Amino acid sequence: MTDQSLTELLQAAGQLKLRPDGSSYTSLFFFDERAIAAQVGKPLREVECAALDLEIVPERYSRNRKYFSCEDQVRLLNSHVAVIGLGGLGGTVTEILARLGVGTLTLVDGDSFDESNLNRQILSSPAKLGQKKAVAAGERVAEINPAVTVREVAEFFTAANGSTILTGVHLAADCLDTIGDRFLLEDICGKAGIPMVSAAIGGTSGQAIAVFPGDPGLRRIYGAPEKAPARGIEASLGTLPFGAIYMAAVECAEITTILLGKPPELRNRLMLAEISEHTAEVINLP
C-alpha cells in the first residue's frame, strides 16, 4: 500500500478532541492505529510517525503534546536508548521511556529477580522471582507500548560485549550499581561517540550527571577509576523505593532533553538530592 493510502487512512481515522484546557487536537486512537498498521503492513511506530507528520496525535501521547511538538515526538520515536542495569533505577527508567515513546530500547542486565528486589524494583513481583530482569523488562514494554522496539540483552555489560551492545544506540542510561562498571560504560560510550546519563542512589540520597564523549565525567566525582571504591553508598545505606523512582525521573528528564537536541542541564554538573528532606542542588564540577 502506498504512502498516500496511509495518509488517507490516517486522515479518515483522526478524531477532533479537546484537552482539559479546552484546546483542540486531532487524535488517533490505538484501536484505529493498530487496524491501520495491519492494513498497510507497517510497524506501529511507523504509523505513529506518519500520523504525527500530519499533526495527528496518537492518543497515548496526547498529554505529552503541550511539552513536546509533533516533531519532538517523532524524534523520540526515532531514538534508541540503551538502559544498562534493570534494577531499581533501570526498571523505572525503562517504564518512563516506554511511556514517553522512545522508539527503541536496548535493555541490558544479566541478573534475575530475588526477594530483596521487591521493595524498590518496579519490574519485580513474587510471580517474577527467578526471572531474568531483561526478559521481564521486555515483557513490560510490550505490554504498555507495543510501538516500542525492544532488544533484550540478558547479559551483564562487559568490556567484551559493550561495544556490540551499544551499536546503533543514541544514548546510554547508566543504572548500574558498581562504580567500576559505571567507568567501563563511560569509556565504551566515549569510544562509541554517544552521551551517557548516569544516576545513583543510596538510602534517601541520589545523584545524577550527563557525560558526553571527551568530558572528564565520572572522574570529577570518584577520582581515578583505579582508586575509586568498588561500590557506592548504597552498599551500606540500602535503597528505598522513593529514592529509586525520584532519581529515575531525574535521569529520564535529562535523557529526554538530550534526545530532543536541547542543551543538557547536567553536563559537567552534578545534581545532588536528599529526598527525605526535599532538597536538591546542582553544582558545577571543577
Q: State the pairing for strand pair 56-58/24-28.
A: parallel
Between the alpha carbon of residue 60 and those of residues 83, 100, 146, 156, 243, the distances in Å are 22, 9, 11, 33, 27
Could you give phi then psi for residue 125, rounded to 5 degrees? -165, 160
Please identify every stretch of the chain with a pLDDT value under 50, giving residue numbers as ranges: none
Interval 221-270: pLDDT, tens: 999 988 777 666 665 567 899 999 999 999 999 999 999 999 999 999 99
Output the nine-digit C-alpha cell for 209. 550527571
In angstroms, what is the C-alpha Rg of the chain? 20
Report the candidate in 236, 129, 107 with the shortest Cα–Cα distance to residue 173: 107
Joined grid coordinates for residue 26:
486531532
Q: What is the pTM of this model?
A: 0.95
Check residue 91 and give its pLDDT. Answer: 98
Task: Mention every residue, 6+ apart, whose C-beta is less than 8 A from residue 205.
Answer: 233, 237, 243, 272, 273, 274, 275
Asked whether the beta carbons of 86 and 244 are under 8 A apart, the reply is no
Taking alpha carbons only, the member of 218, 230, 222, 226 closest to residue 266 is 218
- The answer to whether residues 72 and 79 touch, using CB atoms and an 8 Å cutoff, is no
- CA–CA separation, 249 vs 258, rounded Å? 14
> Which residue segments constitute the domains of the chain, with CATH numbers given?
3-68 (no CATH), 79-284 (3.40.50.720)
Torsion-angle region of residue 57: left (phi > 0), alpha (psi -120 to 50) or beta? beta
